[in-house]
Amino acid sequence: MEIIDNIKDIRDRLNSSVDVGFVPTMGALHQGHISLIKKATNENKIVVVSIFVNPTQFLENEDFSEYPRTIKSDIKICELCGVDYLFMPNINDMYGKNETLIKAPNKNGYILEGFRRPGHFDGMLQIVLKLLLLVNPKNAYFGKKDAQQLSLIKNMVKNFYLKVHIVECDIIREDDGLALSSRNVYLSSSQRDLALNISRSLKIAAKLIGTGESSCQVLEQKMRTILDIDGIDLEYIAFVDRNFTQIDTIELKNTIILVAVYIGTTRLIDNIWI
């Protein structure tokens, strides 16, 4: 595996490559990232992983400076997974003083995560576009856990006529159901126990849908009995279709149920695709 830290070298290495799989990350790699990388290695001749903690997608009061950075273990993980190139650019390479800015769509970019984190998706799309143009992959791999992000990236690829295929990858969970996240390291033992209620609420909703319940209002009420408890600050429960339009009735194979909470100072999101 070759580690590359500058734009010229990544372009030179991939200039003539046509079968490239790309996994963009912010580091602090875990089994969720590993599942993306393994899928990429199974489906492509060359695999590129990027690690870049993107400052433009963090708000002023968020955890950019404290975001987990585990470079040594990240490098080892990439080596063991058979990554060909690990791209770790610095901020000055990725951002200039006179940036042309990308803006998220007025509707889908400013609801749910975008409403609570205004500007977050602008910064996310900015860096994803830059990385896709630099790596020029055939396939790029993103997890369904960040469902709204995934939807916006697919929309950007379509709008800008990019040739990359965006591969949607399933959420990876711990054995007890907790969705893997780099921010899980912030949780104390008792907070982690509370966090299990997130996936429990989603499982309850899925079970009810399996018995024929289709009212989003009824499902939300059931989910709130699990999430409206001491220690969990519930931000939202949302029911949307694949285009992130709010729905009142479950549409099988076209529904995503999303949850966002704070547990202590740690913000966690999760979802289930129905």
H-helix or E-strand spanning residue 132: helix 120-135
Helix axis angle, 120-135 relative to 147-159, nearest 10°? Answer: 60
User: CA–CA separation, 134 vs 15, rounded Å?
Assistant: 10
d(CA 136, CA 91): 20
**CA contacts within 13 A on the Cβ side of 183:** 16
Q: What is the CA radius of gyration of the chain?
A: 19
**Is 30 one of the annotated active-site residues of the chain?**
no
DSSP conformation class of 135: H
CA distances from 37 to 31, 54, 96, 142, 172 (A): 10, 20, 30, 10, 13
For residue 29, the one-letter residue type is L
Bridge-partner residues for 12, per DSSP?
A: none
Say how far apart CA 189 and CA 193 lie, in whole Å.
Answer: 6
Query: 84: which strand partners?
Result: none
Q: Which of 30, 33, 120, 165 is catalytic?
A: 33
- Bridge partner residues of 271 (DSSP): 258
**Residues 179 and 270 sit within 8 Å (Cβ to Cβ):** yes
Active site amino acids: 33
